[in-house]
Amino acid sequence: MTTTSTGTRKLTIARAMAEATAQAMREDPTVFVMGEDVGPLGGVFGNTRGLHEEFGSDRVRDTPISETAFIGAAVGAASDGMRPIVELMFVDFFGVCMDAIYNLMAKNTYFSGGRVKVPMVLMTSTGGGYSDAGQHSQCLYATFAHLPGMKVVVPSNAHDAKGLMTAAIRDDNPVVFMYHKALQGMGWLGTEKGATVPVPEEAYSVEIGKAAVAREGRDLTLVSLGAGVHHCLRAAKALEAEGFDAEVVDLRSLVPLDRETVRASVAKTGRLIVVDEDYHSFGVSGEIIASVVEHDHRLKAAPARVAYPDIPIPFAPTMEQWALPDADKIVAAFHQMLRNH
């Protein structure tokens, strides 16, 4: 493999995550991977492909279907000098192991007064759109971001996925790395083309806690994360044809949350729509809107949100697609905003 960065080599998020992990494992013997089917299979979503061949069963460990044990074990290993990367295959499975995540992983540093470090990455898949129903399709971004003590990142493209994965592995704090299935580049899940972008070959970090402006604009700020960023970019293109210039902010991290970038954008455009595939109520959309209006309420229009309705995710494609955020719904929300003001 060449080490030069041409800036043209495109990777899927799955490949980018595996590459970041492999590079970290080559430079740091304390980094290892464990989870269900992360070994010879290479991860159900492809993000550990090639690791088992290179590093073997000791450092790329298939676990029993036993999340409480192996996530708890990751906490113990991280506190003892290792840097585990542990996979919760679907974020929906958090229900069987949340104690290890939010009571141990997220609190041991605080309860030790900062003396015990828990440098681990919990990577987990999110999102629906392929009729897997309500136990395999949720995003649950806010559930994790709500609970203090863990960083949370959500990449929208392969460049950020590699840089955020490298940063997460190097971080001395626990980081929850939430990757959206529709962005992984696995053919059988349908793939968002915009997520497969040029990725430098050398290791690099994307700063955790720093949002990106994915598209600049003057008339409207669209804020989203993960797959939602791509819906926003499509909506921005549609609005451009109508003569409106939308800015798109890709949050990239939820914890820490880059409120400054969001506020600066809304200060410029005066209009805000938040797009979130997680549930509507008590979530990311409410937090972003509150972060803006508690800082400055002089907007041109009341903020709006396009989020998942407060329902379990249905199986039938007609119902699921009706409920999911998409570009048309974002455009409609903007039209409604103009009518209201």
Binding site for another protein (CB under 8 A): 30, 32, 58-59, 63-64, 66, 68-82, 84, 96, 99-100, 103-104, 107-117, 148-149, 151, 172-173
Q: Output 65 or 316, the one with its CB closest to another protein.
A: 65
Q: Output 80 or 294, the one with its CB closest to another protein.
A: 80
Structure tokens at 112: 């030790």
Nearest distance from residue 62's CB to another protein, in Å? 10
Q: Half-sphere exposure of residue 185, counting CA atoms within 13 Å on the CB side? A: 21
If we measure between CA atoms, which residue out of 322, 310, 250, 323 comes closest to residue 283? 310
- Indicate the DSSP class of residue 300: S
Q: Output 82 or 338, the one with its CB closest to another protein.
A: 82
- The catalytic site residues sit at 67, 136
Nearest distance from residue 199's CB to another protein, in Å? 28
Pairwise CA distance, residues 198 & 158, whole Å? 8
Q: Output 150 or 266, the one with its CB closest to another protein.
A: 150
* Pairing assessment for the beta strands 212-215 and 246-250 based on DSSP bridges: antiparallel
Nearest distance from residue 204's CB to another protein, in Å? 22
Q: What are phi and psi of 42, to 5 degrees?
A: 85, 20
Q: What are phi and psi of 279, to 5 degrees?
A: -60, 150
Pairwise CA distance, residues 39 & 333, whole Å? 44
Nearest distance from residue 187's CB to another protein, in Å? 33
Q: Other C-beta atoms within 10 Å of 110: how many? A: 11
